[in-house]
A and B are shown apart, each in its own frame.
Chain A
């Protein structure tokens, strides 16, 4: 199947700093990518839909100025958590669809101290 790669897999940062997470589709082009967040023992919650060449679409309750999404090419979407706080600590997962199937990145575990 198609491969979606995320980087970094783990990141620890200080409160108030910004963290960038990359999501790449390695063997296909993805005009749309999705960013999910998963808190411990909770389900995946869709944060935003990333569209190549245009603005991302954010789900209700997700601050677009805090979670900056850039989808500058057909194979790369980035999520930047700005001014991170401990409550932003979570597992962030991206996904992209190819021929109707949704493929997930490996996930990035963010810990904000």
Chain B
């Protein structure tokens, strides 16, 4: 089976840095994805990790440790528009993804 855990909610201040953690237990592993989802909208792709280490992409970075079943998404220089839900998703097979429940991030002034 698949089990993906991430915090339900987080709050951070504009301009700060926030780290959203994700732990997973899956039968098979073929990559971990992070998506951003604003309320009422479809998810948009943020990052993809398949090997251990840090992937940096502008203000967003994602880290993966396969041995620990652990990933985090790091958001720097937070902006108000970053207020959204952040979904951790694991690909165990070909292209199907299993999503975590999402972390609702609120950025406050």
> For chain B residues 19-49, which have a beta carbon within 8 Å of chain A?
33, 40-45, 48
Q: B97 contacts A43, CB within 8 Å? A: no
Interface size class of B (residues with CB under 8 A): 10 to 19
Q: Majority SS of interface residues in chain A?
A: strand
**In the docked arrangement, what's the CA distance between A44 and B100, Å?**
8
B99 at interface, CB cutoff 8 A: yes
Q: B96 contacts A105, CB within 8 Å? A: no
> For chain A residues 88-113, which have a beta carbon within 8 Å of chain B?
91, 93, 97, 101-107, 109
Nearest residue, chain B, Cβ from A32? B95
Residues 81-98 of B, flagged 1 when their CB comes within 8 A of A and 0 if not, give 000000100000001111
Q: B45 contacts A44, CB within 8 Å? A: no
Q: B42 contacts A46, CB within 8 Å? A: no
CB distance from B27 to the nearest CB of A (A): 14
Q: A43 contacts B99, CB within 8 Å? A: yes
Q: B96 contacts A43, CB within 8 Å? A: no
Q: B41 contacts A107, CB within 8 Å? A: yes
Question: Top 9 nearest A-B pairs by Cβ distance?
Answer: A104-B42, A43-B101, A107-B42, A97-B95, A44-B99, A43-B99, A106-B42, A93-B42, A104-B43
B residues apposed to A, CB below 8 Å: 33, 40-45, 48, 87, 95-102
